[in-house]
A and B are shown apart, each in its own frame.
Chain A
């Protein structure tokens, strides 16, 4: 007999609300595009609702959402050329001009660097945590962080010290 998940619908609602912004921001950091971030956001939470995975700790729960979001982004990059998706040109309006500039400059950053930058600077994760999360070696993460910082510094000149 199939084992029934222990979580109630209320628990699921609370978890969705708790990780809603985190998942959406990570998805946006990868795609830099609102409509793609919307798609990934839905995919991540549909997976969660369908699977209803059980976690021992909140840390595991957070790690699951980050991994699934990253995997959905990768899947989207692979599948977009199959499905011939042309994303809507929607974006988010930022408050300050320098944030708009930063957003456009981040679009130029190679995909492999976007996740490490977001997890390091926004989620405050250490290199080791990022390495575990992205299944990349710590040395690779360090190198990618250094290269991403270098690229950003080059792009943004003296406006930002990264």
Chain B
């Protein structure tokens, strides 16, 4: 349903013919301009080189008095760094301090640097992820993004850049916004392309299957094997077994077997809403080529209890007679720490004045 609507909506989006003509007409103009540009090019390099020398000559003087975040901004663009207005509003909860360092407002967009620092422990590290758990309350409709831009080991401070763009193309200066964080995950561990010690030649057909409602999935053959919309039919999966030997902590290996001629591999994660552990399996053939699964489904047991279990099942369309030619590998990310709290800062959006 969504695919059809999305497709139909996009089919109505086309560039104006004038725009297309402009591009096509520019083919000849570009040829003519190329020679001119080559002359200007060398002069530009000299000007740029002089500019870089001046910027870096000024850096040590500035860096002595500015926090780490300014050094980051200066390294990207000194002129922009000067336009950031210091905010310095902070709050502290459970030994973790959140501080709004600075903001830069321009038109309908606000760029805000926020630092989080653990004053008493090691809960914040370079893998800290606010994981969609931050919220931004503002008196205007807007879209916002938040990303980790740096981590300073000495001060144990993670710095995040929040970008907010107002939708109506109206100026947002003078408004107040509230940035709050209720939880975050940190101490992530990556298991990159690790071998999974399973003898694939011993994998048998399994009768131990069940039908479940799936809550998502992906893969090139996903729609071939899983009815969309997902709410309309069930999907055949392995009945989870007791966790077997698996090199990834906090992800359980709960099944492997052939079902209807396809290799099914199943993992489970308990209470994943507080972890965001995830990953995927792939096969390697004798030549070292990676073969991704044909489709993957996710399903949940005990959805509304404290013991929620999220299952993932990866399915490979490789005949049982050929599976001995492959080895099983996986890439996974797990988080070691989930921290809850209440950090909230309200601050005004002020514009830089020359």
Contact = CB atoms under 8 A, between A and B. Distances in A.
A161 B230 contact: yes
Contacts, number: 150
21 contacts: A13-B24, A16-B24, A21-B15, A25-B14, A41-B23, A80-B107, A86-B107, A86-B169, A89-B169, A95-B12, A96-B8, A102-B6, A108-B143, A126-B218, A126-B219, A127-B292, A146-B216, A149-B216, A160-B1, A160-B5, A161-B1
B132 interface: yes
Given A81-B109, A82-B80, A99 B13 contact: no
Please report whether the interface of chain A is mostly helix, strand, loop or mixed according to DSSP.
helix
Interface string B7-49: 1111011111001101110111010001000000000000000
B272 to A, nearest CB: 11
B5 A98 contact: yes
Given A21-B14, A46-B23, A112-B145, A103 B77 contact: no
Contacts of A138: 280, 292, 331
A139 B169 contact: no
Contacts of A150: 216
A73 interface: no
B12 A94 contact: yes
Contact of B22 (A29, A37, A42, A96): A42
Contacts of B109: 80-81
B254 to A, nearest CB: 18
**Residue from B24, B30, B332 with most neighbouring chain A CB atoms (10 Å):** B24
B343 interface: no
B240 interface: no
Nearest to B276: A143
Nearest to A109: B143
A92 interface: yes
B108 interface: yes
Contacts of B255: none
A21 B9 CA distance: 13
Contacts of A98: 5
B55 to A, nearest CB: 16
Given A126-B219, A139-B333, A25 B279 contact: no
**Residue from B23, B145, B168, B280 with most neighbouring chain A CB atoms (10 Å):** B23
Nearest to A160: B2
Given A9-B27, A77-B163, A146 B19 contact: no
Given A86-B169, A122-B10, A139-B280, 8 more contacts: A13-B24, A21-B15, A41-B15, A41-B19, A99-B5, A103-B9, A112-B145, A145-B218
B182 to A, nearest CB: 17
**Residue from B10, B16, B331 with most neighbouring chain A CB atoms (10 Å):** B10
B145 A152 contact: no
Interface of A: 9, 12-13, 16-17, 20-21, 24-25, 28-29, 37-38, 41-42, 45-46, 49-50, 77, 80-82, 84-89, 92, 94-96, 98-99, 102-103, 107-112, 117-118, 120-122, 126-128, 137-139, 141-143, 145-147, 149-150, 152, 160-162
Contacts of A143: 276, 278
The 3 closest A-B pairs by CB, nearest first: A161-B229, A162-B2, A126-B220
B26 to A, nearest CB: 6
A82 B218 CA distance: 38
B113 to A, nearest CB: 13
Nearest to B292: A128
A112 B163 CA distance: 13
B287 interface: no
A81 B298 CA distance: 40
B230 A142 contact: no
B231 interface: yes
Given A127-B218, A147-B132, A38 B19 contact: yes
